[in-house]
A = this chain, B = another copy of it.
Amino acid sequence: MRSLFACLALALGALTMTACGEPGTASDRDAAETERPRYALAIHGGAGVIERGSLDAATEAAYRSALEEALAAGERILDQGGSAVDAVIAAIVVMEDSELFNAGRGAVLTHEGTVELDASLMRGEDLDAGAVAGVTRVRHPILAARAVMERSPHVLLAGVGADRFAAEMDLELMDNSWFRTDRRRQQLERALEEDRVRLDHDDGDNLGTVGAVALDADGNLAAGTSTGGMTNKRWGRVGDSPLIGAGTFASNASCAVSATGHGEYFIRRTVAREVCALMEHAGLDLASAARRVVHEQLLPMGGSGGVIAVDHRGNVALEMNTPGMYRASVRAGEEPLVAIYGR
């Protein structure tokens, strides 16, 4: 019976929905034109066991400052009328360069002590997308994802081939040792001693995958995600971050989503696409869709983590089932929000 009521609720929700149809159709955007902010942007720096009081004041201030800097880099572009894709990339590039986050320099180390980076990017206007998995030399993996989207016929490139593609595209390359920090070496040593694969937050180091979602003045959505994956990962493990539909999804028909958490569960639940699918097919609003996926689908399986999302009306959702998530958001004409701990 419970299932029948849920079906009825879904069906009634669908009767009131406005976000139905194909991406980019004018009717969707017109419906929301009056109330929509000129732009909206949200970013995350990972979700995990970040208990209030677990960070000292200096560390907490450093995270807040890095999140503010990344948010400002993206907002500057949106405020000048730039595209959602450019804003997402600008915010992620700042976090990839920061050693605080598990992306670009300062990413976690594999079982072999190297860095293998994943990133993906999606554009809501035409559902175009690009991604790389397991690159070892690209300073900004999110720029490699963009190059795959714009300058190749493919969506996903992996391993040495992806590094070679980045070199052919003249992207900035670094030696793999440049990405490695002492903090990550110590983290790997502890993981090797305990012989287990760690999520980047499991051991209290509280550093995570980064991502950004944006709505621009033209009404276009975009989403991007970048990560080093799991400490002590082996066998060429690929998580959800470079996978369209799992870690990243964007469609102008509904929303843009970037996810962070225990990637295997996010793949099995096609988390980023599922938030958008619940809007498109079941008529849920953004907040309800994000809550359902994070708390009702992921949590019962043991899938810890969260999502950030922005919809075609400029609504923002920052949802997690973990004690904390590094996150920030801003909408045109409003004060930015920067937060670390849960509600």
Q: Which residues of A contact B (CB under 8 A)?
A: 3-4, 6-8, 10-12, 14-15, 17, 20-22, 25, 27-28, 122, 127-129, 133-134, 152-162, 164-165, 197, 234-239, 243-246, 249, 263-264, 267-270, 273-274, 277-278, 281-283, 297, 301
B25-A3 in contact (CB<8A): yes
With A and B bound together, what is the CA distance between A263 and B153 in angstroms? 11
Q: A10-B281, A25-B3 are in contact. Are A164 and B245 (CB under 8 A)?
A: no
Most buried by B among A21, A25, A161: A161
Give the shortest distance, in Å, between A28 (CB) and chain B (any CB): 8
- Among B20, B127, B238, which residue has its beta carbon within 8 angstroms of that of A133? B238
Contacts of A10 in B (CB 8 A): 14, 20, 281, 283
Q: Is the CB of A161 within 8 A of B282?
A: no
Q: For A283, list chain B residues within 8 Å (CB).
A: 7, 10-11
In the complex the two chains form, is B270's CB within 8 Å of A236's CB?
Answer: no
- Given the interface pairs A11-B283, A154-B264, A161-B236, the reply to whether A3 lies near B17 with Cβ below 8 Å is no
- Are B127 and A268 interface neighbours, CB within 8 A? yes
Q: A267 contacts which of B11, B158, B159, B245 (Cβ < 8 Å)?
A: B245
| A239–B154 CA distance with the chains assembled, in angstroms | 8
A270-B273, A277-B277 known, 7 other contacts, Cβ within 8 Å: A11-B17, A133-B158, A153-B197, A155-B268, A158-B236, A249-B270, A281-B282
